[in-house]
């Protein structure tokens, strides 16, 4: 039981990668897909610091990019910057209130979705505003909604008893 409690975040990170690769393509609405690992990476960066979050995000990005047929390195770079920003702005060593988690996950998913969409569509003739409206905005809202649903689920940590 102590092993499970000690490594629960890392087990959930591996499960989020598996979900991202196997289940998320079936959750797409039009061409918008949520990004599940950024939610767990934000939690790691906010609770354990930006350095540990950056190490986890780089490794997660390499694994996600190697399992997808996308450009290699985009997810690693975007995960890294998003977790750095959320870790520096929202590091909180005690159980987080839901409002603070909502803000931290919103900032992190916004940074991730804007960077990922902008880099992914660099060779297109779209303006930055079109990229924000057509790609980044819906991906941000979809991922942030899942992060907020996670915050009200039993998996999220509570004030009295710490989970994860």
Tens digit of each residue's pLDDT (9 = 90 or more) over 62-71: 888 888 777 7
Q: Count other C-beta atoms under 10 Å from residue 46's C-beta.
A: 25
The arithmetic mean of pLDDT across residues 9-17, rounded, is 84
pTM for this model (two decimals): 0.84
More confident residue, 163 or 157: 157
User: Which pLDDT value is given to residue 162?
Assistant: 46
Q: Rounded mean pLDDT of the chain?
A: 82
For residues 106-121, one letter each, b for 16 or more C-beta atoms within 10 angstroms of the residue's C-beta and e for the rest, the string is: bbbbbbbbbbbbbebb
Q: Which of 43-52, 62-71, 92-101, 133-142 has the lowest mean pLDDT?
A: 92-101
The half-sphere exposure of 147 on its side-chain side, counting CA atoms within 13 A, is: 29
Q: Which of 46-55, 63-72, 92-101, 134-143 has the lowest mean pLDDT?
A: 92-101
Question: Cβ contacts of residue 25 below 8 Å, gap of 6+?
Answer: 33
Q: Which of 31-40, 47-56, 82-91, 120-129 has the lowest mean pLDDT?
A: 120-129
């Amino acid at each position: 039981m102590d092993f499970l409690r000690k490594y629960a975040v890392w087990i959930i990170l591996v499960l989020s990668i598996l979900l991202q690769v196997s289940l998320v393509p079936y959750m797409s609405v039009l061409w918008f897909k949520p990004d599940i690992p950024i939610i767990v990476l934000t939690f790691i960066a906010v609770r354990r610091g930006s350095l540990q979050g950056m190490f986890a995000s780089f490794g997660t990005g390499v694994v996600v990019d190697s399992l997808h047929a996308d450009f290699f390195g985009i997810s690693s770079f975007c995960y890294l910057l998003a977790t750095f920003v959320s870790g520096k702005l929202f590091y909180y060593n005690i159980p987080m209130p839901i409002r603070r988690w909502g803000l931290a996950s919103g900032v992190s998913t916004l940074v991730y979705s804007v960077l990922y969409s902008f880099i992914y569509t660099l060779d297109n003739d779209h303006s930055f505003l079109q990229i924000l409206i057509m790609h980044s905005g819906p991906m941000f809202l979809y991922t942030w909604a899942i992060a907020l649903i996670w915050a009200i689920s039993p998996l999220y940590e509570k004030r009295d008893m710490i989970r994860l």
